[in-house]
Structure 1
Amino acid sequence: MTAYAVAHMRQATMGPGIVEYLHRIDATLKPFGGRFLVHGGDVEVIENEWPGHLIIIEFPDRDHVRGWYNSPAYQAILALRTDNSRADVVFVDGVEHPHKATDVLK
């Protein structure tokens, strides 16, 4: 089942560390089938507040997203992000299609 790495990037200090991270992250995704679906585009807030940006990276499954995050290549650049930003990061599975809202009641 498709899985996602989702980050709510609340604050980032744009400087050499973040720039290097951005230059290097794509190469860490490729071996795990990761691809950006959302990467900090304009957020239209319609309820409550949303400080910051949204990042969603798609992977073939949860094993691939964990493998990417724990890989030596990603771990080598992780501090470039965490030292220069504040973000909430989660992994989440997608849904089987077709999916109805009531499927969560089963």
Structure 2
Amino acid sequence: MTAYALARLQPTAAPHPDVATYIERIQETFEPFGGRFLVHGVTPERIEGEWEGDVVLVAFPDLAAAHAWYASPAYQEILPLRTAHLPGELIFLPGVPAGYDAATTAAALRAALPA
């Protein structure tokens, strides 16, 4: 089942050259794990709630591949280039299985509600 790496990167006053190096090298780190950009460094259109920062979304074949990418020596080597100069958050998300129907989730939620 497809998994996603979702990053929210906080704005900074001025870009650092290390961030450019990180961006130049990141794609080669996730390609061996089947990762590919779906969204890269865009400011989202905020519809509801609070949001600050840019978004990066990478798809992987599954959570194991996403974890293997993050732990890989190639990614760990460049990670400080970003974290030292561009604060943000990174989360992994499992996708829904083929044939997913939100009505099933709603039914489970209703079953758990107090009578």
Q: Which residue of 2 aligns with 1:21?
A: 22
Structure 2, gaps ≥5 residues long: 110-115
Superposed CA deviations along residues 38-70 of structure 1, whole A, max 9, x for unmatched, are 112241111122111111100001110000000
Shift of 1:15: 1.6
Structure 1, gaps ≥5 residues long: none
User: TM (normalized to structure 2)?
Assistant: 0.84
Q: Which residue of 1 aligns with 2:68?
A: 67
> Aligned residues: percent identity?
43
Letter in 2 for 1:46: I
- RMSD between aligned residues: 1.5
Where is the strand percentage greater, Structure 1 or Structure 2? 1
Rg larger in 1 or in 2?
2
SS of residue matched to 2:6: strand
Q: Distance in 2 between matches of 1:84 and 1:29?
A: 21
Q: Distance in 2 between matches of 1:73 and 1:89?
A: 17
Q: How many pairs does the alignment contain?
A: 106
User: TM (normalized to structure 1)?
Assistant: 0.91
Superposed CA deviations along residues 12-50 of structure 1, whole A, max 9, x for unmatched, are 451211000001101101110100001122411111221
